[in-house]
């Protein structure tokens, strides 16, 4: 607890740092105290006991979760997480009409055969087909050099021991990035396939999205299909 | 009083403030009479025959005309002068008509004849009558007036005509003594003349002096295409210096737009945002409002009616997301009020503050409001680049919070992190990896919970805080679940607000 108190002192000091020096110090101190009290009241949750035991994860909060079960091969279950906020842009000028470019994060669903295999995924290779996906350099707001991928385009191969699994794009769109960390650390797929172990980020055209959506199943449908609770 | 002296008095417009318009007009006429009598008659007759108006004739002799007297009085004086030596070429009776017709040089500007916005021809008796129209317009708009600045623009062809008539006089009378005297006195342009004629009546009407002021009266004279084509012919005639009168006695007059406006005023302050459903600026997508309101509207809609402006613009030093509260010291913002009729006093600024802070819902609070000049603009920009930001986040971690965690977190000082452009904004921003600095962090425990805590952190501006805390799929480090985020302080090194 001693640390907490010390930390509190630090905070206090830094809050008062940039006050105008010419003002009456007592008045400033009083105002700061008042401000701090108000701040503390606002920051702390109203009722600690009402907080969820474990809150929704960042994935649940920020993404709408879709799945492509048995994608082109039985047991090849992949997820397509569509960023929910990405469609909505905050801008300073109010009258712009906005293109609704939403990003999709592509990865392996927990029921994917590669994750079920003994020892899990041991390596990931983005060097497939004619080009190495990890070498693409997409630049600029307009995403120059982004490759256009089809649902069946291969993103990478994941190996589990002797077995190799082909991971595909699942959606039509521009490939913005692949998760290069998987090259060094394929284990991320086994520990957190839905976060740090994502495979790639793809940007479908807004006009393509309705069709893409039809080709996928929702989280609830996926759970039902795979008998997950 | 010697006649020269009287001329100087009239020329400088420095007539004693009249008791009323009638006595001012009487005094003016007396002085005018003395001035006009000094003019030699051949050039007066010549100019009258060219269809030059009485005001322009005075102007070409380096004198100013009257503000309060009817122009017809001036004309009769000039006719008298012209008539001293009867001319065989141009009988006086023909000259008389030039009193009603549009001047061939100023196109009616100095005769106070113009087309108004309804395309109606307006003819004022004297400068004072025009000033009264302007005064009434400003009063109708309800301007609080503590001074005024008169801006006049006239079409360039009128300047050309003025030059042409001066050239023709020089060719005709260049060797005469009186003409050499004129050359030594100040040249009065059409623009100078109209400004001077109406300034004094305006000062009297408003009861304030003209000079640098945020309140502007703008007279914009412009011409129709028809007038432009006619005027080339007139210039040509003047240049030929021989002159029959301009063929078209009813030459078109200029359009006149009279506008009153005030340059923007700026209200500076800090805002606090208590709601996670209020955006910083008006935010409408496909005709659908996002959030229940905005800081922009809450502040602007309160300040605008008090200043009675046309519109407002909201500027803030940086921004926070709609679901992020702005607490603590608040964020500096600037409201630019366009064309305010009223200049808010210190007291009424306090009233605005109270008004905003007592609005229902208490979504937004403002403080330290004050009216500032536009210099503060530059300061806001500078300050924005230099600030650090302080945040508080309600954070949940998957394990129990230990004292060791507190130590580790609080030992971090000026830690460099690498952030890829967050997934959240990647669709509209360049994919980049940026280095940012986390200046310090502290954990504040929450009584009754072992996995929830408040994380206070101070970062370099431009750090994506949410991503710093939740890791953004490993694209930023470290990782924890963030529930709610609040900005608690915005440091602006260059400003004490
Ligand atoms: Zn004229």
Q: What are the Cα distances from residue A76, in Å, to A154, A177, A228, B290?
A: 13, 21, 16, 39
Looking at chain A, which residues constitute the CATH 2.40.50.100 domain(s)?
58-225
Give the best-scoring range by mean pLDDT among B10-24, B89-103, B193-207, B460-474: B193-207
In this complex, which of A6, A54, A141 lies closest to B428 when CB atoms are compared? A141
Catalytic residue (one of B8, B321, B323, B405): B321
Which residue of chain A comes nearest to B448, CA vs CA? Answer: A48
3-class DSSP state of B339 = coil
Name the domain boundary from B346, B362, B385.
B385
Preceding omega of B15 cis (within 30 degrees of 0): no
Count: domains in chain B: 3
For residues B163 and B56, give the distance between their C-alpha atoms in angstroms, rounded to a whole number. Answer: 12
| Domain final residue, candidates B336, B352, B385 | B385
Q: Nearest-5° angle of CA B116, CA B121, CA B122?
A: 75
B12 and B156 housed in the same domain: yes
d(CA B5, CA B7): 5
The sign of the torsion formed by the CA atoms of A164, A170, A172, A177 equals negative
β-pair partners for B129? none
CATH number, domain containing residue B319: 3.30.70.2510
Biggest alpha carbon–alpha carbon distance for chain A: 76
The SS3 assignment for B201 reads helix
Q: How far is A145 from chain B (nearest CA, A)?
A: 12
| Inter-chain residue contact A105 with B473, CB threshold 8 Å | yes
Average pLDDT over residues B330-355: 90
Task: Supply the range of the domain harboring residue B468.
Answer: 387-495
Q: Which of B394, B428, B491 shows the shortest C-beta gap to A89?
A: B428
Q: What is the pTM of this model?
A: 0.68
Residue B243 to residue B224: CA distance in whole angstroms: 25
pLDDT value at B312 more than 90 = yes
Question: From ligand 1's centre to the CA of B250, what distance in Å?
Answer: 14
Distance to chain B for A4, nearest Cα, Å:
6
Below-50 pLDDT ranges, chain A? 1-23, 86-99
Q: How long is chain B?
A: 497
Q: What's the mean pLDDT when you consider all of chain B?
A: 80
Give me the CATH number covering residue B462: 3.30.70.3190
- Identify the band that residue B194 occupies on the pLDDT scale cut at 50, 70 and 90: very high
For residue range B217-273, what is the model confidence (pLDDT) as tens digits?
A: 999 999 765 555 555 555 555 444 344 344 443 447 889 999 999 999 999 999 999
Choose between B284 and A64: higher pLDDT. A64
The minimum CA-CA distance between A36 and chain B, rounded to whole Å, is 7
State which H helix or E strand residue B170 sits in.
Answer: helix B156-173
Q: Which of the listed residues B233, B262, B291 is the one where a domain comes to its end? A: B262
Are residue B10 and residue B116 in the same domain, yes or no?
Answer: yes
B172, part of any domain:
yes
Residue A141 φ then ψ, to 5°:
-60, -30
Are B13 and B108 found together in one domain? yes
Mutation site, B295, B357, B364, B427, interface A, largest A CB count within 10 A: B427
- How far is residue B100's CA from residue B105's CA, in Å, rounded to a whole number? 14
Whether B68 contacts B28, CB under 8 Å: yes
* CA B10 to centroid of ligand 1, rounded, Å: 18
For residues B251 and B393, state if they share a domain.
no
Indicate if B50 and B131 belong to the same structural domain: yes
Q: Give the number of other CB atoms < 10 A from CB of residue B303.
A: 28
**DSSP, residue by residue, chain A:** -HHHHHHHHHHHHHHHTTS-TTS-HHHHHHHHHHHHHHHHHHHS-S-GGGS-SSPPPHHHHHEEEEEETT-SSTT--EEEEEESGGG----SSTT--------EEEEE-TT-HHHHSTT---EEE-EETTEEGGG---BTTTTBTPEEE-TT-EEEEEEETTEEEEEE--S-EEEEEE-THHHH-TTHHHHHTTTTT--EEEE--TTTHHHHHHHSEEHHHHHHHTT--
Q: How far apart are CA A91 and CA A1, in angstroms?
A: 43
Cβ atoms of B170 and B96 within 8 Å: the answer is no
Point out the residue among B279, B443, B445 whose CB comes nearest to the CB of A90. B279
What DSSP letter does each residue of B19-35 carry, written as one string? SSHHHHHHHHHHHHHHH
| Same domain (yes/no): B337, B295 | yes
Q: Are residues B27 and B107 in the same domain?
A: yes
Q: How many whole angstroms separate alpha carbon B103 and alpha carbon B250? A: 9
Cβ–Cβ below 8 Å for A85 and B398: no
Burial of A71 (C-beta count, 10 Å sphere; 0-12/13-18/19+): buried
Query: Between chains, do B279 and A51 touch, taking CB under 8 Å as contact?
Result: no
Judgement on whether residues B164 and B252 belong to the same structural domain of the protein: yes
Interface test with A, best of B474, B478, B484, B494 (most A CBs within 10 A): B474
B310 as an active site residue: the answer is: no
Q: Are strands B121-123 and B113-115 parallel, antiparallel or unpaired?
A: antiparallel
Quick check: is B1 in a domain?
no
Rounded CA separation B80/B85 (Å): 10
Per-residue pLDDT band for B193 (boundaries 50, 70, 90) equals very high
Residue B13, classed as helix, strand or coil, is coil
Looking at CATH, the fold of the domain delimited by A58-225 is given as: OB fold (Dihydrolipoamide Acetyltransferase, E2P) (2.40.50)
Alpha-carbon Rg for chain B, nearest whole angstrom, is 35
Q: Give residue B228's pLDDT.
A: 52
Residues B353, B464 share a domain: no
Cβ–Cβ gap B448/A48 under 8 Å = yes
Q: How many CB pairs under 8 A join A and B?
A: 153
Same domain, B351 and B428: no
Residues B112 and B206 in one domain: yes
Q: What is the pLDDT of residues B373-423, one digit of tens each?
A: 777 777 666 655 556 788 888 888 777 888 888 888 888 888 888 889 988
């Amino acid at each position: 607890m001693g640390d907490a108190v010390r930390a509190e002192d630090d905070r206090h000091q830094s809050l008062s740092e940039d006050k105008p020096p010419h003002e009456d110090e007592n008045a400033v101190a009083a105002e700061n105290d008042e401000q701090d009290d108000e701040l503390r009241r606002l920051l702390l949750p109203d009722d600690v006991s009402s907080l969820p035991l474990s809150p929704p994860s960042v994935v649940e909060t920020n993404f709408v979760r879709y799945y492509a079960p048995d994608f082109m091969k039985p047991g090849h279950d992949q997820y397509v997480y569509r960023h929910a906020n990405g469609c909505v842009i905050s801008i300073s000028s109010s009258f712009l009409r906005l293109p609704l470019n939403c990003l999709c994060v592509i990865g392996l669903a927990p029921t994917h055969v590669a994750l079920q295999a003994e020892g899990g995924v041991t390596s990931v290779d983005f060097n497939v087909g004619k080009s190495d996906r990890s070498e693409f350099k997409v630049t600029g707001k307009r995403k120059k050099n982004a490759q256009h991928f089809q649902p069946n385009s291969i993103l990478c191969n994941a190996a589990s021991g002797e077995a190799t699994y082909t991971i595909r794009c699942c959606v039509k769109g521009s490939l913005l990035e692949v998760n290069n960390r998987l090259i060094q650390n394929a284990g991320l797929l086994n520990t957190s396939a839905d976060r740090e172990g994502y495979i790639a980020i793809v940007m479908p055209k807004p006009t393509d999205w309705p069709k893409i959506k039809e080709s996928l199943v929702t989280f609830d449908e996926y759970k039902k299909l795979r008998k997950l609770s | 009083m010697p006649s020269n002296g009287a001329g100087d008095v009239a020329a400088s417009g420095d007539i004693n403030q009249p008791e009323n318009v009638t006595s001012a007009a009487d005094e003016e006429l007396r002085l005018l009479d003395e001035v006009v009598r000094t003019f030699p008659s051949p050039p007066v007759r010549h100019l009258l025959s060219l269809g030059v108006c009485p005001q322009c004739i005075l102007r070409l002799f380096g004198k100013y005309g009257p503000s309060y007297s009817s122009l017809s009085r001036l004309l009769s004086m000039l006719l008298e002068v012209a008539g001293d030596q009867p001319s065989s070429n141009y009988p006086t009776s023909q000259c008389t008509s030039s009193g009603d017709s549009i001047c061939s040089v100023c196109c009616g500007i100095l005769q106070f004849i113009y087309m108004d916005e309804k395309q109606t021809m307006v003819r004022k008796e004297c400068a004072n009558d025009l000033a009264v129209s302007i005064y009434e317009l400003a009063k109708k708009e309800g301007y609080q007036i503590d001074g005024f600045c008169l801006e006049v623009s006239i079409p360039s062809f009128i300047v050309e005509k003025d030059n042409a008539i001066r050239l023709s006089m020089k060719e005709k009378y260049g060797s005469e003594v009186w003409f050499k005297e004129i050359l030594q006195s100040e040249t009065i342009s059409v623009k100078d003349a109209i400004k001077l004629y109406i300034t004094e009546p305006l000062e009297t009407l408003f009861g304030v002096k003209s000079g640098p002021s945020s309140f502007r009266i703008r007279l914009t004279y412009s011409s129709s295409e028809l007038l432009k084509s006619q005027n080339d012919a007139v210039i040509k005639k003047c240049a030929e210096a021989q002159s029959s009168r301009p063929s078209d006695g009813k030459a078109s007059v200029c359009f006149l737009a009279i506008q009153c406006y005030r340059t923007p005023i700026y209200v500076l302050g800090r805002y606090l945002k208590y709601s996670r459903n209020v955006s910083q600026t008006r935010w409408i997508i496909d005709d659908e409002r996002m959030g229940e309101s905005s800081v922009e509207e809450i502040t602007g809609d309160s300040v605008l009616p008090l200043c009675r402006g046309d519109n407002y613009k909201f500027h803030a030093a940086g921004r926070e997301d709609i679901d992020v509260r702005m607490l603590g010291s608040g964020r500096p913002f600037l409201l630019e009020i366009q064309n305010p009729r009223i200049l808010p006093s210190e007291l009424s600024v306090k009233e605005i503050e109270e008004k905003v802070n007592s609005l229902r819902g208490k979504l937004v609070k403002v403080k330290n409001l004050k009216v500032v000049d536009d210099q503060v603009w530059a300061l806001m920009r500078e300050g924005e680049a230099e600030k650090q930001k302080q945040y508080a986040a309600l954070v949940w971690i998957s394990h129990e919070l230990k004292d060791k965690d507190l130590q580790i977190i609080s030992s971090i000082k000026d830690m460099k992190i690498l952030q890829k452009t967050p997934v959240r904004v990647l669709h509209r921003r360049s994919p980049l990896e940026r280095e940012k600095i986390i200046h310090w962090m502290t954990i504040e425990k929450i009584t009754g919970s072992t996995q929830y805590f408040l994380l206070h952190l101070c970062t370099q501006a431009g750090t994506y805080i949410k991503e710093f805390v939740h890791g953004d799929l490993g694209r930023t480090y470290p990782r924890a679940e963030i529930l709610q985020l609040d900005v608690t302080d915005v440091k602006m090194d260059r400003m004490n607000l």
